[in-house]
Chain A
Amino acid sequence: MTHGGARIAAIGLLTGFGHGVEALPDDAEGAAAGRDVVPIATPPVTGDRFRRATRECVLGVAAVDAALRNAGLTRDDVRGSDTALVYVTAAAYGAANRTFAGAAGGPLHFPYTAPSAVPAEVAIEFGFTGSYVILIGGSTATLEALWHAASLVRRGAAARALVVAVETFAECADLYARARRLLARPLVEAAACAVIVPDAESPAWQPAAGAGPLDALARRRAGETLACGPLVALALGADGRGPAAVTGYWRGRRTGLGWPATSAI
């Protein structure tokens, strides 16, 4: 079954400042108080299955749980092949690679060097067996992820799609210090998940000459969250007043994606 389009039904958000947009300060730079990296507390998880999983995997699971809560969905509602999973990150595998390359990790840690370890653990935890996409990059990759998720829902390939983004920085803070001029500060660790469901209208690509108002707001309140940025922006724009347009900028390229008025979260 195909639909006219897709909308964002809910967003779950965790950042170094706390849970949800409510936890975001008015001024991330001031709240960081000189820290280059604002780390995120690892959510408590239960079960032996996560004994080797990285911090990034646990954050991905927590973001999905938060989004499901906000969408009024249970784990049983989303289990199976009707739920597509689209994952995006720019940085949340650096720590695992560094650990393994530095011989601190054993062979059983090797699989966690792959960025795909996070969505794999998320899929296992929630029983997602449907369409599955993993993109790497900053905020432009998240816009691509949102477009692919909407496309899967619109074409009827999934009843719903989750776009999950995770970014961590703490373990590689010294390396990021070398790239100071490439990334804004503070680097704020984050995990976010958007629930995309069928609707009448679809998101559309838009030209973006500069950062849009939502992106500027997200940057001011949440700091640099890389791939989580557009989801932070959409969560901040979820006031139901009209269309939400987000832009992304990553290593010299800028893109924009507009969500129609009916897509208020």
Chain B
Amino acid sequence: MSIEIQNISKQFGTFNALSDINLEIPSGELVALLGPSGSGKTTLLRIIAGLERADQGEIRFNGVDTSESHVRERKVGFVFQHYALFKHMTVFDNVAFGLTVRPRSTRPSKAEIREKVIKLLQLVQLEGMAQRYPAQLSGGQRQRIALARALAVEPQVLLLDEPFGALDAQVRAELRRWLRKLHDEIHVTSVFVTHDQEEALEVADRIVVMNKGKIEQAGTPDQVYDHPANPFVLNFLGNVNLFHGRLHQPGGEQHESGEHTVSYVRSHDLEIDRSQLDSTALKAEIKHIQKLGPSVRVTLAVAGSGEMVEAELTRDVFQVLGLQQGEAVFVRPRQVRVFVEDYQI
């Protein structure tokens, strides 16, 4: 089922949560709403679900306006950040809930419900847990049950609110991959909210970057990462260095950073070398070296301007170079971006 979001605005008191949001989500797509806290992404998700009401604008499911339909009529599945499992019911009853509250006329028989629940538990790989209570499950298991419960009513849209936010890193990574696989099998139109750019890049078909109640950019992970529309998107999806002053782009172009232009270079786009390989390289002194597992972050001060920049190197490149704190080296940007508008990060 496709979702059309038209001119949605929402205010909480004097706070503008959403300002004129327009977005189209074709059927079967897995979309990530990515942004910092307060960007409005959860508010937008809840408006789609019907848990909040927009002040202005419309949401259409398959072209049909949903403003008059109540939450329970919208046939959406919602997965909450803190699972919201019914704590006094067994796992089985939790997953079956959506089916058992149906009016008598549309309610499946007990046997049918049982079959469905068991199939869903198998899908989330938790068949043995049917008689346990949520308190007896781990975080990752609870989230999978929450997902099974949402899928039990065969929703046309699946909405997930920071589904892996409350889990530890290892479990989060596993569930991320698992969600992607699930979507590849089931193809339900899905929208999930996250502030983790890695998660969005890994899981989503399309990423919608939001900030302060507006959409900054919407596109595929490649589009958003390699061709950011503005400095905010560039900075949110990776670490970025700002250069004030003249920068030579590889390929001969020269960028002069004046009052209205700032040059941006991603941390991993800065090469470090002991010799000046060409005119694009800048002299700099290594101020600090921070090892971060598989990568190494090197903080340098550019000679002359004194600007602090960060370069990210892989472990093996760093080991080959054998850099030391205090060394004078050259940094060379592999790719430079310039945004002409006066934009603050």
Q: Do A and B belong to a common assembly? A: no
